[in-house]
Chain A
Amino acid sequence: MEESRVIYDEYGRQSHRVDKTDHIGPTGQGGNDKGHTDPHLHETTYAPKGTRGHNDNTGAKTEQHNLKE
Chain B
Amino acid sequence: MRRSLQPEVIGVDAVIRVLGKWSARDLAYVEQFGFEGTEDGGCVRIVALFQPRSEDHWPDPAKPMRRVVLRFTDIDQLRLSDFGGNWVQVMGFDIVPVADRGWESARFAVEDYEDQRISFYCRTAAVESVEEADTYI
Q: Tell me if B86 and A55 are in contact (CB < 8 A).
A: yes
Q: How far is the CA of A42 from the CA of B91 in the complex (A)?
A: 9
CB distance from B64 to the nearest CB of A (A): 13
Residues in chain A near residue B23, CB distance under 8 A: 29-30, 33
The CA-CA distance from A34 to B85 in the complex, in Å, is: 30
Task: Count chain B residues whose beta carbon lies closer than 8 angstroms to a beta carbon of A.
Answer: 28
Known: A31-B21, A64-B57. 12 other contacts (CB 8 A): A25-B25, A29-B26, A32-B54, A33-B23, A33-B26, A42-B91, A53-B87, A55-B86, A56-B87, A61-B87, A62-B89, A68-B56
Cα–Cα distance between A68 and B58 once the two chains are bound (Å): 15
Given A23-B92, A52-B136: A58 touches B53 (CB 8 Å cut-off) = no
Judged by DSSP, the binding face of A is loop
Whether A63 sits at the interface, judged by CB under 8 Å, is: yes
Can you list 6 A-B contacts with CB-CB less than 8 angstroms, sorted by A residue number? A33-B21, A33-B54, A55-B86, A57-B84, A63-B57, A64-B57
B137 touches A33 (CB 8 A): no
List B residues 66-117 near A (Cβ within 8 Å): 84-89, 91-92, 113-114
Q: B20 near A: Cβ within 8 Å? A: yes
Q: How many A-B residue pairs have CB under 8 A?
A: 74
B53 near A57 (CB under 8 angstroms)? no
**Interface size of A in residues (CB-CB distance below 8 Å):** 27
Smallest CB–CB gap between B50 and chain A, Å? 12
* Interchain residue pairs A-B with the least CB separation, the first 4: A53-B137, A57-B85, A29-B23, A56-B85
Distance A36 CA – B137 CA, assembled complex (angstroms): 22
